[in-house]
Structure 1
Amino acid sequence: MRNLILFETKHGAVEHAGALLADMLEGETRTARVSRGNIPPLDQFDTIILGGSIYFGKIQKALSIFMARHQEELLKKRLGLFICGAHPDQNEREKELRESFPEKLREHAVAKDILGFQIHFQSLNLLEKSIVKSILRLKEDKEAIDREAIQAFAEKFRS
């Protein structure tokens, strides 16, 4: 089993969640950041997992463009979709998950979930700090990557 986790991240939460997921999947797993352009040929992999973080209700543009360009190829793979997002309302997080991925990919996916978030104040700009303080009511770093959700996500790919 060959797995590829393709991700986009702004402050590292998705990369962290993807690394934890990679350790839990069976077989050989590679990870690659979409915006760095070092994506191996998709035909080399049985499973492709796409992950991104949510900013202002949307997933990163680089990941959206990649999905649009490669949708037909992705539909031929075992597919997983995840986001990292910190909206305090569970219904909003689920809406963000739905709206982050094209419907055809969502319907085809073996697993789709929200894998938590992490906030590191030193990496945020002033606007981001203001939003985190007002919406999330946080004033210090918070590690909330959901290891149980990551384990459950990985379990869906067991043969």
Structure 2
Amino acid sequence: METIILFDTRYGTTNKVSNIIAEKLTTYGCNCKVANINENQNLELDKYDRIIIGGPIYAGNFQKNMKKFLEKNLSILKEKEISLFICFMNEEKQIEQFNNAFPNELAVNCKTKGFLGGEFLFDKMGFFDKSIVRIITKSNKNQTNIKNESIEEFVMDILK
């Protein structure tokens, strides 16, 4: 089955998670491509049977470029096997944020939903983001909470 993982990222965490998913799928024999939607505007989605889409949540919002991409390609995406994931640090609000991130037409019909953790990478953040995260976390140190077990479960659900 031809598979593509589409992602948007600000500081690289969703890229990292997308590549982990791709590596795991490849070990199970899947032909898998990974593409940043900001660098690949004219993807030929017709040639993929399975599309996995992920992105980060920042300040309670999904990335604008991903929202535009999903709106633009919604009709073709609804015809595919879709799995969706978010990278997000606040576990208490992950379901709410997931539902706000993706169009309802995709979210309700997707095969698999993933809440795959996230990171606060202060060394990559701009001043504004650093300030907000410092207030929220009361820390200025990098924090990693990528959920490897959740990624494994996500991949196994995709393969069912």
Question: Normalization by structure 1: what TM-score?
Answer: 0.93
1:139-150 matches, within 5 Å, as 139-150=140-151
Matched with 2:2 is 2
Determine whether 1:50 maps to 2:53. yes
Structure 1 CA distance, aligned partners of 2:6 and 2:35?
5
Matched with 2:157 is 156
Matched with 1:14 is 14
Determine whether 1:84 maps to 2:87. yes
Greater shift in the superposed pair: 108-117 or 5-14: 108-117
Matched with 1:73 is 76
Measured on the aligned residues, the alpha-carbon RMSD in Å equals 1.3
Matched with 1:24 is 24
Greater shift in the superposed pair: 33-42 or 2-11: 33-42
Matched with 1:36 is 39
1:92-145 superposed Cα distances (whole Å, 9 cap, x missing partner): 222111100011100111111211111221111112111111112332111211
Task: Please report how far the alpha carbon of residue 8 of structure 1 lies from its aligned counterpart in structure 2 after TM superposition.
Answer: 0.3
Structure 2 CA distance, aligned partners of 1:39 and 1:147?
31
> Secondary structure of 1:29's partner?
strand
> Secondary structure of 1:64's partner?
helix
Task: Please report how far the alpha carbon of residue 37 of structure 1 lies from its aligned counterpart in structure 2 after TM superposition.
Answer: 2.5
- The percent of aligned pairs where both chains have the same amino acid is 28
Structure 2 CA distance, aligned partners of 1:112 and 1:50?
10
> What one-letter code is carried by the residue in structure 2 that aligns with 1:100?
A
Structure 2 CA distance, aligned partners of 1:70 and 1:38?
11
Task: Please report how far the alpha carbon of residue 40 of structure 1 lies from its aligned counterpart in structure 2 after TM superposition.
Answer: 3.0
- Extract unaligned runs of 5+ from structure 1: none
Number of positions where the alignment pairs a residue of Structure 1 with one of Structure 2: 157
> What one-letter code is carried by the residue in structure 2 that aligns with 1:115?
L
> What one-letter code is carried by the residue in structure 2 that aligns with 1:126?
F
Question: Normalization by structure 2: what TM-score?
Answer: 0.92
Greater shift in the superposed pair: 11-20 or 129-138: 129-138
Structure 2 CA distance, aligned partners of 1:42 and 1:100?
20
Which 4+ runs in 1 deviate beyond 3 A? none
Structure 2 CA distance, aligned partners of 1:123 and 1:70?
30
